[in-house]
Amino acid sequence: MSVAGVVEILQLDRERVLASASATEDHAARAETADIALASEWAVAASLWSLLDPPRATEAFAHAAAAYAELRSPWAAVLAVCADVRRPSHLSEWEPDRPLFEHARPEAAVLSQLWPFAANAGDYDLAGALDTLASSAGRATARPVGRLRIPLEHYLALGWAMSRLNAQDGDLSKLQLATAAFLRRVDEFTRMAQVDSYHWARLRPGVLPVEPEAIAASAIVSLASRTITGTLASEMLAPHVDSRELAPVLVAEALMDVEREEGVPA
């Protein structure tokens, strides 16, 4: 299955998604001042476009990342991953000397540390970064974080599995288990939002059909798997998760495959 089937899997109307994405993007493009509302509109538009038009989504994610970076928000790093996972940026404001949960976005801090490893195929001390992150989090790794309210330990588990992937010459089993567990938690949150079927169908449940943090985590995992073993995350996960759970990965891989002009940021 490709990203084209995700709209149907999530029980959304394609025309409604298209209209909402277009209207939200148009409003953001006409805004004259940079504030949190503008940044949020770009992120919403990008997430919706990711279900329909990956090239347009990468452009909107880049706008969203720039808008959040201007506001000095750590959420910029997550959106920058969605814009182009192959080009790590320095948008994270994570400070190792501060406890992790003093940061506004602990999940963004973790993902920004996993990103360089995925993009550089092991030229980065991921294990050292994870040790620092785990120490900084202390005993609070079970605390839910982000819009998806997934325990931080799931983000850390993705990192540990990625570090073992490099050390074990392409053994995908640990990464399969960690990613499948993460995707199941994402799907649990999505199913809870769909209980309110009236607002879900109208894209007004307070949660996006595919949240940027789920796209970013999936993109990082898939890039690491592709770079180190030549296997996409969607390929390694197909026997372990259902089509609903795989949705963020399919979206992330469609964004990864967007061709970008040399020297032009996505």
pLDDT at position 75: 87
User: pLDDT tens digits, residue range 194-227?
Assistant: 999 999 999 986 789 999 999 999 999 999 888 8
Q: What is the pLDDT of residue 95?
A: 55
pLDDT at 124: 72
Predicted TM-score of the model (pTM): 0.91
What's the rounded Cα separation, in Å, for the pair 264 and 59?
A: 11
Q: What's the CA gap between 239 and 86, in Å, rounded?
A: 26
Pick from 74, 164, 82, 78: which is nearest to 117 by CA? 164
CB 227 within 8 Å of CB 121: yes
Two tokens at 196?
Answer: 């309110």
Distances (CA, A) of 211 to 102, 228, 229: 23, 26, 27
Give the whole-angstrom CA distance, residue 127 versus residue 164: 9
User: Is there a contact between 166 and 122 (Cβ–Cβ < 8 Å)?
Assistant: yes
Give me the residues of the chain with pLDDT under 50, please.
94, 262-266
Check residue 265 and give its pLDDT.
Answer: 41
Neighbours of 260 (CB within 10 A): 16
pLDDT at 127: 83
The pLDDT of residue 97 is: 55
At residue 264, the pLDDT reads: 39
Both tokens of 105, joined, read 């976005």
Alpha-carbon distance values, 22 to 34, 58, 83, 236, 253 (Å):
19, 14, 18, 34, 22
> What is the reported pLDDT for 89?
67
